[in-house]
């Protein structure tokens, strides 16, 4: 496969991302002492930073891979929403799919990091489902984009914050099927069984075992296949791409699976790795790659961002170099 040509084709793709967006806020500092008030570190702040998070981080990954993201999401009508829109504009990401709901707060996750170690996270958010009026407004946004743009793939990025509802899922998937657009899901728990008919379902290990209420060891792939097969059959899902952190990823297709080991890396932070995996997978499916190649490339992408602290994006050239080096070394080993 000519990966350079493949990655160049990403620039022609448009991906519609639907889901829970947020601001990822960072306080970077140093720790020199323990608080006299409690046995906790005192962080002297050196730098503050705000980044796009959640579904917006998926959009930013799509952008960094050279494609065009279109984000449909909900914010509050507050200062954090203004900050969020400014961050989108700074990255040249379309803001026309964002709806401000005055009854909600914009989700903000604040991470405190001392000496590159994640010390604590503070969440400001609402997690109840959007009301009927906002739900209809978001459906209309989604349908308008599907009717007016040539969308190559659709991602549901679900963090259980209430943006995605069963009706939004059903309406979008039905339209996608008519238009022959692949649909991908990064699920949480509330909607776990609502994504009927999607192309690719991408839980992590905890979401997979908790969602199905099963006890499976992380390396028991045969047992995973049994439960994945049943889940795909009952929900009319084509493939399940399961991320296993240090064990890599595994892709299930009906009665078979392929496992890809994680890259040998020094893990700094797994935050946002799932966002990177599904963004990469969406462009692979949009480019009509097999699920084997989709899982292989997505595994590389997720591994690379784990080497960096905080929620970061995959860079196209970085991913391309990693795959080419892997293929070259594999060829040398097999000679």
Q: Which of the residues are catalytic?
A: 275
SS3 264: coil
Contact 65/319 with Cβ under 8 angstroms?
yes
The whole-angstrom separation of Cα 297 and Cα 88 is 26
Six token digits for residue 230: 């049943």
User: What are residue 269's phi and psi, to 5 degrees?
Assistant: -170, 130
Six token digits for residue 123: 């969440």
Contact 105/124 with Cβ under 8 angstroms?
yes
Which residue's structure tokens are 């963090």? Answer: 159
SS3 236: coil
Which residue's structure tokens are 């799932």? Answer: 274
The set of residues, in sequence order, having a beta carbon less than 8 Å from that of 229 and lying 6+ positions away, is 252, 254, 255
SS3 69: strand
User: What are residue 198's phi and psi, to 5 degrees?
Assistant: -80, 165
The whole-angstrom separation of Cα 2 and Cα 299 is 18
Length of the chain, in residues: 335
Instruction: Give the number of C-alpha atoms closer than 13 A to the C-alpha of residue 260, restricted to the C-beta side.
Output: 22
The set of residues, in sequence order, having a beta carbon less than 8 Å from that of 98 and lying 6+ positions away, is 21, 71, 72, 73, 74, 75, 84, 85, 88
Contact 290/299 with Cβ under 8 angstroms?
no
């Amino acid at each position: 496969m000519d990966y350079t040509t493949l990655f160049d084709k990403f620039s022609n793709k448009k991906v519609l991302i639907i889901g829970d967006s947020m601001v990822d806020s960072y306080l970077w500092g140093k720790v020199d002492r323990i608080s006299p008030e409690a046995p906790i570190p005192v962080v002297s702040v050196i730098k503050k930073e705000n980044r796009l998070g959640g579904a917006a981080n998926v959009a930013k990954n799509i952008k960094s891979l050279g494609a065009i993201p279109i984000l449909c999401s909900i914010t509050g009508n507050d200062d954090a929403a203004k900050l969020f829109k400014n961050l989108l504009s700074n990255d040249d990401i379309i803001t026309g799919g964002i709806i401000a709901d005055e009854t909600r707060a914009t989700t903000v996750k604040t991470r405190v990091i001392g000496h590159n170690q994640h010390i604590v996270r503070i969440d400001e958010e609402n997690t109840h489902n959007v009301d009927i009026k906002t739900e209809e407004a978001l459906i209309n946004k989604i349908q308008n984009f599907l009717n007016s743009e040539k969308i190559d793939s659709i991602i549901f990025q679900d963090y259980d914050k209430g943006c995605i509802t069963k009706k939004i899922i059903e309406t979008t998937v039905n339209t996608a099927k008519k238009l022959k657009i692949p649909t991908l899901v990064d699920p949480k728990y509330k909607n776990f069984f609502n994504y009927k008919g999607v192309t690719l379902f991408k839980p992590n290990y905890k979401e997979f075992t908790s969602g199905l209420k099963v006890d499976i060891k992380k390396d028991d792939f045969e047992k995973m296949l049994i439960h994945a097969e049943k889940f795909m059959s009952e929900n009319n899902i084509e493939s399940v791409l399961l991320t296993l952190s240090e064990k890599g990823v595994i892709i299930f297709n009906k009665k078979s699976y392929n496992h890809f080991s994680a890259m040998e890396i020094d893990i700094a932070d797994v935050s946002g790795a799932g966002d990177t995996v599904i963004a990469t997978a969406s462009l692979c499916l949009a480019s009509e790659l097999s699920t084997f190649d989709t899982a292989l490339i997505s595994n590389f992408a997720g591994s690379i961002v784990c080497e960096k602290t905080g929620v970061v994006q995959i860079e196209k050239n970085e991913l391309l170099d990693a795959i080419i080096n892997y293929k070259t070394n594999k060829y040398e080993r097999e000679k």
